[in-house]
Amino acid sequence: MTQTATMSAVSAPPLIAMRGIVKSFPGVWALRGVDLTLHSGEVLALLGENGAGKSTLIKVLGGAHRADSGVIEIDGQAADFQSPLDARDAGVAVIYQEFNLVPGLTATENIFLGREMTRLGFVSREQERRRAAALFDRLGVTINLDIPCRRLTTAQQQLVEIAKALAFDARILGMDEPSAALTSHEVSHLFGIIRDLRKRGIGIIYISHRLDEISAIADRVAVLRDGVSVGLRPIGDISRKEMIELMVGRELKDEFPPRSVKIGEPRLVATGLRRGRAVRDVSFTVRRGEILALTGLVGAGRTETVRLIFGADPREAGEIRLDGRVLAMRSPRDAIAAGIGLLTEDRKLQGLVLGHSVRENFALPNLARLSRGGFVQLRREREEFGGYVNTLKIKVPNQEQRARNLSGGNQQKVVLAKWLARNCEILIFDEPTRGIDVGAKYEIYLLMNDLAARGKGIIMISSELPEVLGMADRILVMHEGKVTGEIADARTATQAQIMKLAIA
């Protein structure tokens, strides 16, 4: 396979060639002269830390951003994408991290939005529906085609995105972290699709932080660092360790920091939590100094469970005690007051106010403490946040930077700073390293260990099994709203053992 791709590359002009692509944003040089070629029937993995410019590059390719300078050629012909529509007409489809779906429309309507199948001028719903069902069949999933997309899970929405791109037979497919929200089961399906597309001569640019996936699917690897391309090699010529080193620009020892924490008495005790079909009689305990992993397939009810603990949704039954005291939580405000913090899975929609400054975002749950007589003490606020910018190594030009302009890793650090400043006793991390690069991941792991060492209780939701095994002291596996198993000593657990419980 790889062989043929390389062969055809020699004869035909590349499917796409990007040369000297430069793009800047206020205060940030996102790309400073990136070259990239993609051949027909090739999977090119794009690697890089957060803020390295991967997402920007793929947005330039998809016509969502216009490059300040540089050339894009398709089949050797210069192309100028003024809009995503131009890119689509040229056969380029990009699936972005942020979904491009109309929340109120069904999966079918979204897939055919703007190019509806018509008969005599009327939308032929039946035809569209059959086509959509066929697409999802090919993805090996079933999606409810009758409900609005907003009611689908994150993973299902992602699948709709993929189906949407497949629906108009793009020749170039960009995927920005397509697997981030998928379970390993769904990911292997996706790989099946990708291999199928590759066989049909489609060129694919694949962005992911999961190095295992890249080794499994990519033909070549391009590594970006600080907006410059620092390496472009066939997958056979590069080791996992080399990929990481190219990304971070230094040698890296371990993916997970070592930890030695003494686990103490129970701190958070949840019993008989219930909410609809999502959470069905869930009980568990988090002890002092412990990292409890909550894992399972997407949609198993993990996020829904922690939202009950955080008071974000009302619970139908169940009791929550913190240090023996029963908590009557009716809102996140109550939970925060009791000393619970939640780092949400979706930082952009639930963790941050994107249009506001990072400083204001940081201060939001801490305003009462930072205020005197109703007035926010700006100096204290700046000093305190400045401290976290230093200790967490948050990359921001200044504190007034809007949260929107930060990379995923830095956004997550701002959210973390928010809760660290609250000095929470129980911290809940929902997919803490989703969409975050290796370097920042390690820093976040270190912080979680540090928090545990200080006697906090930590709940970590993660779909990445290596992360679960590498970080957790104890593992709870959920399936369809129920706890299907507990692995008391995570050190002895295996991925197979977890998967068996997760599929139940």
Task: By CB under 8 A, name the binding residues for another protein.
Answer: 310, 312, 331-333, 336-337, 342, 344, 349-356, 360, 363-365, 367-368, 370-371, 374-376, 378, 418
Our CB check for another protein shows the closer of 288 and 307 to be 307
Q: Which amino acid is at 127?
A: Q
Q: What is the distance between the alpha carbons of residues 492 and 475, in angstroms, rounded to a whole number?
A: 11
Our CB check for another protein shows the closer of 30 and 352 to be 352
Residue 13 DSSP one-character state = P
**Nearest distance from C-beta of residue 488 to another protein, angstroms:** 31
Say if residues 445 and 254 touch (Cβ distance below 8 Å): no
**Nearest distance from C-beta of residue 410 to another protein, angstroms:** 16
Pair of tokens at residue 186: 């769904």
Our CB check for another protein shows the closer of 144 and 331 to be 331
Q: DSSP strand E in 49-186: where?
A: 69-74, 77-79, 92-95, 118-119, 122-123, 172-176
Say if residues 429 and 293 touch (Cβ distance below 8 Å): no
Classified as helix, coil or strand, 434 is coil
Q: 360-388 b/e with 16+ CB inside 10 Å = b?
A: bbbbebbeeebeeeeeeeeeebeebbeeb
**Nearest distance from C-beta of residue 66 to another protein, angstroms:** 13
**Nearest distance from C-beta of residue 89 to another protein, angstroms:** 25
Maximum C-alpha span of the chain: 74
Our CB check for another protein shows the closer of 344 and 407 to be 344
**Nearest distance from C-beta of residue 309 to another protein, angstroms:** 13
Our CB check for another protein shows the closer of 163 and 279 to be 279
Say if residues 414 and 365 touch (Cβ distance below 8 Å): no
Our CB check for another protein shows the closer of 123 and 367 to be 367
Our CB check for another protein shows the closer of 118 and 331 to be 331
**Nearest distance from C-beta of residue 315 to another protein, angstroms:** 16
Our CB check for another protein shows the closer of 158 and 344 to be 344
User: CA torsion angle for 215, 219, 224, 228 (degrees, to 10)?
Assistant: 160
Q: 162-198 b/e with 16+ CB inside 10 Å = b?
A: bbbbbbeebbbbbbbbbbbbbbbebbebbbebbeebb
Packing angle, helices 184-199 and 154-167, rounded to 10: 10
**Nearest distance from C-beta of residue 422 to another protein, angstroms:** 8
Q: What is the distance between the alpha carbons of residues 118 and 136, in angstroms, rounded to a whole number?
A: 21
CB within 8 Å of 114: residues ≥ 6 apart: none
**Nearest distance from C-beta of residue 124 to another protein, angstroms:** 34
Our CB check for another protein shows the closer of 177 and 430 to be 430
**Nearest distance from C-beta of residue 425 to another protein, angstroms:** 15
| 20, containing H or E segment | strand 16-25
